[in-house]
């Protein structure tokens, strides 16, 4: 029993060292993902473990069958009304999201025998033999985000994910495993701009195309608590005719009023990124102080 507990602690410690940018050198994580699916992808939190080869979509929840999709009543409306395919709750001064991290879009990376399989787009090539698998990502995100003073925290500081999309998926930063750049890695994205790394963690560096296609839609929240939008800003009007691509700072963000935050809030936008060579969901630094993520 003691040995088992020690192993679990070791797994957790190692997992926190998972670097979103390292998509191709994570042999240890392969073992860890298997362990994680045994430890925490259970009905108490994220629902039954999803097997990619038999996954189907639950048309009532618009999430993969068997996954729990619930947002607690004490969460603010902007989360409660927009997030799904994860379990959201409030804990003290944090929001907590638990996600099994299986996409509700089809993907090449479910494997060719899966009902959720879809061929890659033309010109795309597979990321090795990587396939999507169940995770147990736990995000603890400050509910009162604030600008960080002094040196900003890098998004490449070993996070298992740097944010969660409105459909419960991991957001990765603007870097790829060296010597690749994201512009090279983008050739392995599926038809929804996502792909899994070696241990099956499906993620988006770029715009999730089943959420936003160069629109002002809410894409998710980053782990510093600030919301993430598509390429355009809704400018606090329901009309999309006046949605424009805003001028953003080096962290991909700006402060402005939006429909969900009429009093104004700092928020990120999907946009051009010099480091990545392609537009990405986040730059190299967080504007606020990041919370924590484990898997
Ligand atoms: Zn990646
Ligand atoms: Zn904006």
Q: How far apart are CA 185 and CA 167, in angstroms?
A: 23
Ligand nearest the Cα of residue 186 is 1
Q: What pLDDT was estimated at residue 19?
A: 39
What's the number of domains the chain is made of?
A: 1
Phi, psi of 43 (to 5 degrees): -65, -20
Position 279 scores a pLDDT of 97
Contact 172, 228 (CB under 8 A): no
Name the nearest CA neighbour of 223 among 101, 168, 144, 141: 141
Q: Output the furthest CA–CA distance in the chain (Å, rounded).
A: 61
169 CA to centre of ligand 1 in angstroms: 12
pLDDT of residue 199: 92
135: helix, strand or coil: coil
Does residue 90 have a cis bond before it (omega within 30 degrees)?
no
> What are the 10-residue block averages of pLDDT along the chain, 295 residues in total?
41 35 38 43 73 93 94 98 97 96 98 97 93 94 97 93 98 87 93 96 97 98 98 97 97 98 98 94 97 95
Say what the pLDDT of residue 33 is. Answer: 42
Q: Is residue 6 part of a domain?
A: no
Residue 5 lies in a domain: no
Please name which ligand lies nearest the alpha carbon of 161. 1
Q: Are 280 and 205 in contact (CB under 8 A)?
A: yes
Distance from the CA of 264 to the center of ligand 1, in angstroms?
A: 32
Residue 153 inside a domain? The answer is yes
**Structural domain for 197, as ranges:** 11-295
pLDDT reported for residue 42:
58
Residue 160 CA to ligand 1 centre (angstroms): 12
Instruction: Specify burial of residue 24 (Cβ count, 10 A radius: 0-12, 13-18, 19+).
Output: middle
In a domain, 200, yes or no: yes
Q: Which tokens is 225 given?
A: 């608590």
Give the closest residue to 231 by CA, choosing from 192, 260, 193, 270.
270
Please check whether residue 1 lies inside any domain of the structure.
no
What's residue 121's pLDDT? 97
Torsion of CA 59, 61, 63, 69, to 10 degrees: -160
pLDDT in tens, 119-150: 999 999 998 899 999 999 999 999 999 999 99
Buried-exposed string 129-165: b where 16+ CB fall within 10 A, e elsewhere: ebbbbbbbbbbbbbbebeeeeeebbebbeebbbbbbb
Gap from CA of 43 to ligand 1 centroid (Å) = 28
Distance CA 66, CA 94 (A): 26
| pLDDT tens-place string over residues 17-34 | 333 444 443 333 333 444
Evaluate whether residue 4 is within a structural domain: no
Which ligand is nearest to the Cα of residue 109, counting in written order? 1
Instruction: Let me know how long the chain is.
Output: 295
């Amino acid at each position: 029993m003691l040995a088992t507990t020690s192993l679990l602690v070791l797994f957790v410690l190692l997992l926190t060292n998972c670097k979103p940018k390292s998509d191709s050198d994570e042999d240890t994580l392969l073992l860890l993902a298997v362990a994680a699916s045994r430890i925490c992808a259970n009905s108490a939190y994220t629902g039954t473990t999803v097997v990619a080869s038999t996954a189907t979509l639950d048309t009532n929840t618009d999430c993969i069958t068997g996954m729990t999709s619930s947002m607690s009543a004490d969460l603010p409306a902007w989360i409660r009304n927009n997030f799904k395919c994860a379990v959201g709750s409030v804990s003290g001064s944090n929001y907590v999201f638990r996600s099994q991290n299986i996409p509700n879009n089809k993907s090449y990376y479910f494997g060719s025998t899966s009902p959720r399989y879809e061929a890659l787009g033309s010109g795309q090539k597979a990321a090795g033999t990587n396939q999507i698998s169940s995770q147990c990502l736990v995000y603890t995100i400050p509910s009162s985000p604030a600008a960080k003073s002094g040196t900003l925290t890098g998004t490449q500081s070993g996070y298992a994910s740097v944010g969660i999309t409105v459909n419960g998926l991991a957001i990765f930063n603007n870097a790829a495993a060296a010597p690749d750049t994201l512009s090279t890695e983008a050739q392995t994205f599926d038809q929804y701009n996502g792909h899994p790394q070696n241990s099956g963690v499906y993620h988006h560096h770029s715009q999730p195309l089943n959420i936003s296609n160069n629109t002002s839609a809410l894409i998710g929240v980053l782990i510093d608590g600030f919301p993430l939008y598509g390429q355009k800003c809704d400018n606090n009007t329901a009309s999309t005719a006046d949605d424009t691509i805003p001028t953003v700072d080096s962290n991909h963000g700006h402060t402005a009023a939006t429909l969900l935050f009429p009093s104004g809030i700092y928020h990120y936008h999907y946009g051009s990124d010099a480091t990545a060579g392609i537009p990405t969901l986040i730059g190299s630094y967080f504007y606020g102080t990041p919370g924590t993520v484990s898997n």
